[in-house]
């Protein structure tokens, strides 16, 4: 049974048209992450939520926003997608941060194409 | 700042041959080290991890990795690979006080019959 679910698997949007990617979890984990993975590159952490506390990485563009309305759901909003934002977006969860963070659980990802 | 370098982007190997996927990291503080595997059309899954203690860690499917502090390496090995091991393998490092993972670029392991 999938524990971290990302929908849709493939998303196509137009240049400059806002798009939202969704992630849900059945693990009741405190932490939810969004990673961006471009072709042949390392997954790059964009931001994470610890419960309701939002933590943005210093080099994450302002174009990327996130919402976590409850424990189970987390959304990635791209306000004005550019061609360079085409990538696989990975959602992950962990029970906690710090030394207790031994394992991340990943969703299957959403492949975003920008036309 | 931390970084992770996976020296090989692709490693082709024949079935039942041994394999080593290389990973080096840089960090000025204590770190935890991980290998994640991504099978086609699936999310990343934890393969094995080093937190403390024995420097040799093993997974349930025959992979092992050795933490070498002097060489800042955490290479992944398997003595005999199967077709089903074909996947993308990511090395990652986590600072002990934050838990956030920094990934390497990934290595594609291609096992040929």
* Cβ-Cβ contacts under 8 Å, A109 against chain B: 43
The answer to whether the beta carbons of residues A68 and A55 sit under 8 Å apart is no
Identify the residue with better confidence: A10 or B28. Answer: A10
Q: How far is CA A63 from the centre of its chain?
A: 14
- Rounded distance, CA B111 to CA B80, Å? 10
Q: Is the pLDDT of residue B19 over 70?
A: yes
Query: B83 by DSSP, 3-state: which?
Result: helix
Paired strand residues for A2: none
Q: Residue A9 has what pLDDT?
A: 92
In sequence order, the β-bridge partners of residue B56 are: B66
What's the pLDDT score for residue B106? 94
| Arithmetic mean of pLDDT, B44-51 | 90
Q: What is the mean pLDDT of chain A?
A: 92
Q: Do B101 and A106 touch (CB under 8 A)?
A: no
Residue A39: band (very low, low, confident or very high) from pLDDT cuts 50, 70, 90:
confident
Q: Contact A100/B102, CB-based, under 8 Å?
A: no
- What CA–CA distances, in Å, run from B56 to B30, B50, B65, B90, B110? 17, 8, 6, 18, 24
**Measured between alpha carbons, how far is residue A39 from residues A42, A91, B60 in Å?**
8, 17, 29
Nearest C-alpha in A relative to B30: A99
Q: Which pLDDT value is given to residue A77?
A: 97
Neighboring chain A residues of B9 at a CB cutoff of 8 Å: 40
Check residue B98 and give its pLDDT: 64
Contact list in A for residue B98 (CB cut-off 8 A) is: 97-98
Residues A18 and A36 sit within 8 Å (Cβ to Cβ): no
Q: What confidence tens digit (pLDDT) does each residue in B54-97 have?
A: 889 999 889 999 999 899 999 999 999 999 999 999 999 887 66
What's the pLDDT tens digit per position in A59-109?
A: 999 999 999 999 999 999 999 999 999 999 999 998 887 655 568 899 999
Q: What is each CA distance from B5 to A29, B28, B59, B99, B104, in whole angstroms? A: 29, 15, 21, 19, 5
Q: Band of the pLDDT at A5, cuts 50, 70, 90?
A: very high
CB contact under 8 A, A40 and B46: no
Using 50, 70 and 90 to split pLDDT, how confident is the model at A2? Answer: low
- Dihedral sign (CA B25, B26, B30, B36): negative
Instruction: Give B102 or B86, the one with higher predicted confidence.
Output: B86
| Rounded average pLDDT over B25-44 | 85
Contact at CB, B44 and A94, closer than 8 angstroms? no
Mean pLDDT (chain B, rounded): 90
Mean pLDDT for B14-26 is: 96
């Amino acid at each position: 049974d999938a524990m971290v679910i990302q929908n849709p698997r493939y998303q196509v949007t137009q240049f400059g048209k806002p798009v939202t990617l969704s992630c849900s979890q059945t693990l009741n984990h405190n932490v939810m992450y969004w990673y961006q993975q471009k072709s042949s590159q390392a997954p790059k952490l964009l931001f994470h939520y610890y419960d309701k506390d939002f933590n943005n990485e210093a080099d994450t563009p302002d174009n990327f926003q996130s919402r976590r309305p409850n424990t189970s759901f987390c959304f990635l909003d791209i306000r004005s997608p550019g061609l360079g934002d085409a990538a696989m977006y990975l959602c992950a969860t962990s029970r906690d941060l710090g030394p207790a963070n031994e394992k991340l659980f990943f969703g299957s990802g959403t492949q975003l194409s920008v036309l | 700042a931390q970084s992770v370098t996976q020296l090989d982007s692709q490693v082709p190997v024949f079935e039942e041959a041994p394999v080593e996927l290389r990973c080096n990291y840089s960090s000025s503080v204590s770190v935890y080290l991980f290998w994640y595997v991504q099978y086609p059309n699936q999310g990343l899954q934890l393969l094995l991890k080093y937190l403390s203690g024995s420097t040799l860690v093993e997974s349930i499917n025959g992979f092992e990795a050795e933490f070498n502090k002097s060489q800042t390496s955490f290479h992944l090995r398997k003595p005999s690979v199967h077709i089903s091991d074909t996947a993308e393998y990511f090395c990652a490092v986590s600072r002990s006080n934050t838990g956030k993972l920094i990934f390497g670029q990934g290595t594609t392991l291609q096992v040929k019959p």
